[in-house]
Structure 1
């Protein structure tokens, strides 16, 4: 075999420029850049060095042969022409990977099969011995790339992808691959910062990938030093002595690096479930004495060990896949920006995000941006120098004005008692450095306008709510068409539902307005950002509005009309309490004394709790969902009610058909549509409401009252119902001031026997 080989180094899309710099530094010659790859010439020592030291490559492929091919037969014979006995034993194992198409091969599985057949046929012995297929840990991994009629046949020296360093056996929900994390660190200038003794911190460290990769760079540790299985281990062309020499050198370099005083490398993670996996990964990498991980929220992390320490803050915040997801993350990015401004003055920061608009909301300008790909998702790396000149604040000011403000702030913060003065060598007093001024990001013009509207609504509705004993109410409902959302106060929490923008609205403008509004909410309503929950409401089908969105299981207690109720603001699209039905619940409370109350499609039975509060003789609540009936049980318990309140799980129509009980007061608020697996057929409120009301009226005692409501905007009550029953629409009497602007939120009727 030749002393020099052609090598192909593959990498994630977008890393080619960094990889070619790294590969040339490791000895690759005649290097050229390709899409997701770098190509060049090297000897065996360089090939091994690239396997051991490349932080960016996925695979190191040694080209065995290039040949033109017109069809599958050319492919077979081109592979057959190789002296495979120089590379593997006849009874060894083999794996083949095929990429590309053309020349009569449009199926990669078929192409791989032709390559495998040629190798097996070449090595088959007279006694029948032949290579077997092992896709997991083969003796030889072969790769054939078909590129515009040319076949490039290669041996994979890597084995498993080089990004799999071996330390990350536990990972979070959306981890970065190790080589992408290394590339981000390199682009962020970490090798330079580390050489200067700088610190590294990740305020959203997950399972610690940035921290481990950063510490390995700082400690001069080869990223694949501890890998045991390689693609060349059982290759007959392998030179063990040469590999041992390089591995020994890398081991010695790592030992020297690890014996240096460790840099300050710290991670913080809000999710307690990820702390131990992160520590386990760090321990497997052999870096426990370099890296420490703590549990903590973004808004509370303190990166600097002392005032003089500087370094790099690096993180990969979540960025969501839809506008609604991004909106809910706005406060996370704002908190990150605030912590950078408050605690990281003079540091550098690198924020890797797939949502650059969120990055802009941190309140700090980036001085450089780099494009990357995280799998198929285009991302940006925002590089930031944390100093006041980069802060996005209110009106523009000259540098002289900024300096005057800093000096004034330093004077205002100075201690009042005498302090020891310091002098320079000429005997002149040394003027103390002014303390940095942390400036808050301002609201945009649209955000300020939105904040003004919220404050106006809050002032008007707050007085009414206090007078009525209500601490959960709607404070905004698409009052301004360009800010299409509903905002509800639940005691000291805010629940935001963003309505999907019409297709005629530019998605970027809709996104910007949403972010402006969310930035204004905490300021206008005087609540902490951590207590704002954002969801996106679209047209619902079936029971989608009742499906679980999250699994936090956090309940908040609220009150209305002397009743305490539990809401869950995070786990479902709805919260467990329909605010628009408050007047109906209050009406039921006033009318329930001594009556038998029936609540159909009861949801969390809030109307039943009001009936019990009003002195109902008994309550019966029917719903198909065990989850909501359990929730209802908690609502009753919270108010001290239990014995006389029945909770029935079942399909309402079937339950009514089977029931022979009588009730004096009935409330029905059905879904628009339901196709639950636990019921027979499909319920459609427009089609089925007559049958539903007939069944319910059959259970109404003489002199009783039935209240019927629903939220279907196009609903039309069947005319012939008024021929059998006394029907009165009371929709306008079931709206409180917080829903006065949205008279179509629901419709309601009072129905009695004639």
Structure 2
């Protein structure tokens, strides 16, 4: 074989430039960059060095041959011509990886099969012995890349991907790959900071990937020093003496590095479940003297007590994938920025984020930004110098502390600096409106003994939110912005609002939940979108009700129907009450509270009937209150009982798998009301309501029944600004 080889090094997208710089430093020549890869020429010593020392690469591929191909036969012939006896024993094992398509190759599996056949046929001996396939730990891993009719045939010297260092056997939910973490550290200037004796802190360290990679850089430890099996271990072209020389040199450098006084490298993690896995990873890496991990929130992490010590704060905050994450992420970034300003003056900071807009909420300018990819997710690395001239100043304002209910039990929100976060001009205007609404509505709510009500409903068009108070929680629904609105502006306004809400309402930021409300189809608004299972007890008209603010788009309590529920409570004494499309049966609880002789609640969802059962039980109304699971239309058709009061609040549209056909309130309301009125006892009353804004009650119904629209009577002060929230009618048989 030749003394020099063409090498391909693959890497995550976006790291090509950094990898090229690293590879040149390790001896690779004639370096060229490609998408997610670089190539160059080198001798075998450099190839081994790249395997051992590359912190950024995924694989080191040694090119055996390039050839043009027009079809699958050309592929077979080109591979078969290689002297495979120089690379693999006839009884050895191999694995083939194939990428690309064209030239008669329609899928990678077929291409890999052709390559395998060509190698096996070449090595089959007179005794019939031939290599076998081992996809996990083969003696030889062959890679063929097809690029515009050219086949590039290579041996994979690395074996398993180089990012798999071997220390991270335990990991969190969304860990960074080790080579991406190393790239971020390099971009953040950690090699320079470490050489100067600087410190490193990660306030959201997860299982410690940044910490271990940083310590290996500082201690001059080859990232793959501990790897026992390589792609070249059983390769017949392997030169063991040369490898041992390089490996021994790397061992000596690691021993010398670890013998130096360790740098101060600390991680903090809020989730107690990740502390021990993180410490285990550090121990497996042999860096327990260098790296320490503690449990702690972002707002509590401390840099080194020595005030003269400087260093780097680095972190990868969570990206937010669940319903309601926007609020918690905003406050997380705000807390991070506050902590940097307070405790890390003159340090440097590097924040790797999939939500750059949130990075702007830290209150510190970034002096550089780098684009990265975390898998398929575009991300930004924000580099920050924690110096006063980089702080983003703004008006600071103490909120009006008046609360509507239980003032003595409501603790003020205190940031780490005992002052509210800075608000933009728009955010301050929004906060002023919230405080005005709270002052007006709070007196009414306290007088009526209401602990949950709407305090804001898109009063300012640019802040298209509905904000509800549930005792000491805030439930925020963001209305989907029209397509004509710039998404970046909409996002900025949302974060302005989220920053203002805790201050204006006097609610701890951890008790703000946000959801996005879009046009719903079918039963989507009732579908579970999270799984925290946390219920909160609220009060209304002398009854206790359970709400869930996190798991569904709706909370289990439609606040706009409060006046209707109170009317039902006032009129229910001695009556048989029927609640159709009952949801969580809050109207049935009110009827029972008002002295109803019995209540029957019908809904298709077992989940909501279980919730209804809990609401009834919470108030001691388990007896004489029946829950029925079924399609309302079918149930009415088979029902033969009479009721003195019926309440119907149907969905706009429903297509559950458990019901026959599709329910459409506009199309089907006449049949629904006819079936329901047929179940009314003499003198009985039916209350019908729905929130479909384009709904038109069929005019012919008034010819058969006494119909009275009562919408205006069913709007409390917190909904008078939105008179189209629902429409309601009182219907009686003539």
| TM-score normalised per structure 2 | 0.92
Which residue does 1:352 correspond to in 2? 352
Distance in structure 2 (CA, Å) of the matches to 1:310 and 1:678: 63
Which residue does 2:280 correspond to in 1? 280
Shift of 1:56: 0.3
CA shift digits 1:348-397 (9 cap, x unpaired) = 2110112211111111101111111112222110011112211100279x
Ranges in structure 2 where 5+ consecutive residues have no aligned partner: 397-415
Distance in structure 1 (CA, Å) of the matches to 2:19 and 2:323: 34
Shift of 1:275: 3.3
> 1:687 is matched with which residue: 667, 672, 677?
667
Distance in structure 1 (CA, Å) of the matches to 2:105 and 2:75: 10
Contact 2:327 2:513 in 1 (8 A): no
Q: Which moved more, 1:354-363 or 1:205-214?
A: 205-214
CA shift digits 1:612-650 (9 cap, x unpaired) = 222222222222222222222332333333333323333
Which residue does 1:503 correspond to in 2? 483
Residues 675 and 297 of structure 1: CA distance in aligned 2, closer, same or farther (over 3 Å): farther
Distance in structure 1 (CA, Å) of the matches to 2:235 and 2:289: 37
Distance in structure 2 (CA, Å) of the matches to 1:507 and 1:750: 43
Is 1:664 matched up with 2:664?
no
Residues 483 and 65 of structure 1: CA distance in aligned 2, closer, same or farther (over 3 Å): same
Shift of 1:142: 1.1
Contact 1:372 1:381 in 2 (8 A): yes
Is 1:535 matched up with 2:507?
no
Task: Say which SS state the counterpart of residue 118 (structure 2) adopts.
Answer: helix
Which residue does 1:454 correspond to in 2? 434
Shift of 1:325: 5.7
Which residue does 2:501 correspond to in 1? 521
Within 5 Å, give how 1:203-214 maps onto structure 2. Answer: 203-214=203-214
| TM-score normalised per structure 1 | 0.90
Residues 437 and 652 of structure 1: CA distance in aligned 2, closer, same or farther (over 3 Å): closer
Contact 1:341 1:438 in 2 (8 A): no
Q: Which moved more, 1:489-498 or 1:252-261?
A: 252-261
Distance in structure 1 (CA, Å) of the matches to 2:576 and 2:417: 65
Shift of 1:476: 1.1
Contact 1:338 1:440 in 2 (8 A): no
Shift of 1:497: 0.7
Distance in structure 1 (CA, Å) of the matches to 2:674 and 2:271: 52
Which residue does 2:406 correspond to in 1? none
Shift of 1:327: 6.0
Shift of 1:158: 0.7
Distance in structure 2 (CA, Å) of the matches to 1:64 and 1:71: 20
CA shift digits 1:61-94 (9 cap, x unpaired) = 1111233444444433322221100000112222
Which residue does 1:177 correspond to in 2? 177
Distance in structure 2 (CA, Å) of the matches to 1:737 and 1:551: 33
Which residue does 2:155 correspond to in 1? 155
Task: Say which SS state the counterpart of residue 362 (structure 2) adopts.
Answer: coil
Residues 584 and 386 of structure 1: CA distance in aligned 2, closer, same or farther (over 3 Å): same
Distance in structure 2 (CA, Å) of the matches to 1:589 and 1:290: 67
Contact 1:388 1:438 in 2 (8 A): no
Contact 1:7 1:42 in 2 (8 A): yes
> 2:457 is matched with which residue: 477, 497, 501?
477
Is 1:244 matched up with 2:244?
yes
> 2:697 is matched with which residue: 708, 717, 726?
717
Within 5 Å, give how 1:84-103 maps onto structure 2. Answer: 84-103=84-103
Task: Say which SS state the counterpart of residue 644 (structure 2) adopts.
Answer: strand
Distance in structure 2 (CA, Å) of the matches to 1:142 and 1:578: 62
Is 1:47 matched up with 2:47?
yes
Aligned length: 715
Contact 2:328 2:510 in 1 (8 A): no
Post-superposition, which runs of at least 4 consecutive aligned residues in structure 1 deviate over 6 A? 321-324, 436-440
Contact 1:393 1:440 in 2 (8 A): no
Residues 69 and 301 of structure 1: CA distance in aligned 2, closer, same or farther (over 3 Å): same
Distance in structure 2 (CA, Å) of the matches to 1:110 and 1:581: 62
Distance in structure 1 (CA, Å) of the matches to 2:523 and 2:305: 52
CA shift digits 1:468-525 (9 cap, x unpaired) = 1112111111112222111111112111111111112222222222222222222222
CA shift digits 1:630-673 (9 cap, x unpaired) = 22233233333333332333322333333333322221111112
Is 1:698 matched up with 2:678?
yes
CA shift digits 1:700-725 (9 cap, x unpaired) = 22222211111111222223332332
Distance in structure 2 (CA, Å) of the matches to 1:439 and 1:32: 53
Task: Say which SS state the counterpart of residue 447 (structure 1) adopts.
Answer: helix
Within 5 Å, give how 1:460-471 maps onto structure 2. Answer: 460-471=440-451
Residues 620 and 256 of structure 1: CA distance in aligned 2, closer, same or farther (over 3 Å): farther
Which residue does 2:364 correspond to in 1? 364
Distance in structure 2 (CA, Å) of the matches to 1:289 and 1:472: 53
Is 1:732 matched up with 2:695?
no
Contact 2:324 2:550 in 1 (8 A): no
Contact 1:394 1:441 in 2 (8 A): no
Q: Which moved more, 1:121-130 or 1:601-610?
A: 121-130
Contact 1:304 1:343 in 2 (8 A): no
Distance in structure 1 (CA, Å) of the matches to 2:138 and 2:78: 22
Residues 268 and 606 of structure 1: CA distance in aligned 2, closer, same or farther (over 3 Å): farther
CA shift digits 1:676-713 (9 cap, x unpaired) = 22223322222222232233223322222211111111
CA shift digits 1:112-160 (9 cap, x unpaired) = 3332232222112233222223322222111122344433221100111
Distance in structure 2 (CA, Å) of the matches to 1:609 and 1:306: 62
Contact 1:341 1:439 in 2 (8 A): no
Task: Say which SS state the counterpart of residue 168 (structure 1) adopts.
Answer: coil
Contact 1:393 1:439 in 2 (8 A): no
Contact 2:27 2:42 in 1 (8 A): yes
Distance in structure 1 (CA, Å) of the matches to 2:664 and 2:66: 66
Task: Say which SS state the counterpart of residue 361 (structure 1) adopts.
Answer: helix
Distance in structure 2 (CA, Å) of the matches to 1:118 and 1:483: 65
Within 5 Å, give how 1:263-662 maps onto structure 2. Answer: 263-320=263-320, 326=326, 329-394=329-394, 442-662=422-642
Contact 2:323 2:514 in 1 (8 A): no
Is 1:111 matched up with 2:142?
no
